[in-house]
């Protein structure tokens, strides 16, 4: 016999999901402007004893001020915080990685963030790459770009660029995301992200823009 059966909708697709599932210790959504903390993004690499090479900074602390960003994306202010690649420990084949908190992933999950990228020189064949990788109960690249390739031969002034990543092929518990930057050229660079948001896709307008 069975008795008192109740079927509840999954919080990940319910109209008003809880931000965290207490049973799996994983999140359904996240918003982070880096003004007060890292929002769970790791400060260390997966390699023992190695820093992630991503640090929270304002625009006065950028290693190469002429490359920017001169302001953060959230407040458009030089005092505003953002998550930046720390190039002070730069070596040949320099890598930077940071790991997000754990998510309950589902087919309607999207990632939105703003990225600033600038370089002393641009190249049509640059191999310096920014990427996002899913890991945990599923492993795959979910986003990749070469921000320092000058494919148009008419490089515009850098600005905060809005990027939206659709996560439609991943549905599992205990998923997290790595944000990577791989430097492959010996030139001065600046890379930052701000206003990271992980939520259901219909809440995130997928129309691209630059602000």
C-alpha neighbours within 13 Å on the C-beta side of residue 192 = 33
CA-only gyration radius of the chain, Å: 19
- Where do we find the tokens 């320099």? 94
Cβ atoms of 60 and 71 closer than 8 Å: no
| 54 — pLDDT class (breaks 50, 70, 90) | very high
H or E segment and range at residue 142: strand 140-145
Encode pLDDT of 133-144 as tens digits: 999 888 889 999
The pTM of this model reads: 0.85
Encode pLDDT of 156-211 as tens digits: 668 999 999 987 667 778 889 999 999 998 889 999 999 999 988 888 875 544 44
State the CB neighbour count (10 A cutoff) for residue 25. Answer: 12
Q: Residue 124: which residues within 8 A CB-CB, separation 6 or more?
A: 149, 150, 151, 153
Tell me which DSSP letter residue 141 carries: E
Tell me which DSSP letter residue 156 carries: P
In sequence order, what are the beta bridge partners of 98? Answer: 179
Amino acid 19: pLDDT:
60
């Amino acid at each position: 016999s069975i008795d008192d059966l109740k079927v509840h909708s999954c919080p990940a697709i319910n109209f008003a999901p809880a931000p965290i599932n207490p049973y799996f210790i994983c999140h359904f959504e996240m918003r982070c402007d880096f003004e007060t903390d890292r929002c769970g993004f790791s400060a260390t690499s997966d390699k023992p004893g190695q820093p992630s090479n991503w640090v929270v900074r304002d625009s006065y602390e950028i290693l190469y001020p002429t490359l920017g960003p001169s302001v953060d994306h959230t407040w458009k202010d030089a005092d505003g915080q953002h998550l930046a690649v720390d190039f002070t420990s730069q070596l040949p084949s320099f890598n930077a990685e940071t790991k997000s908190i754990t998510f309950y992933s589902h087919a309607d999950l999207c990632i939105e963030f703003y990225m600033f990228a600038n370089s002393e020189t641009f190249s049509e064949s640059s191999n310096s790459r920014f990427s996002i990788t899913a890991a945990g109960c599923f492993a795959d690249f979910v986003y990749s770009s070469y921000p320092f390739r000058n494919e148009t031969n008419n490089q515009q002034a850098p600005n905060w660029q809005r990027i939206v990543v659709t996560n439609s092929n991943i549905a599992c518990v205990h998923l997290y995301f790595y944000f990577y930057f791989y430097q492959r050229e010996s030139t001065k660079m600046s890379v930052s992200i701000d206003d990271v948001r992980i939520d259901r896709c219909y809440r995130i307008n997928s129309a691209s823009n630059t602000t």
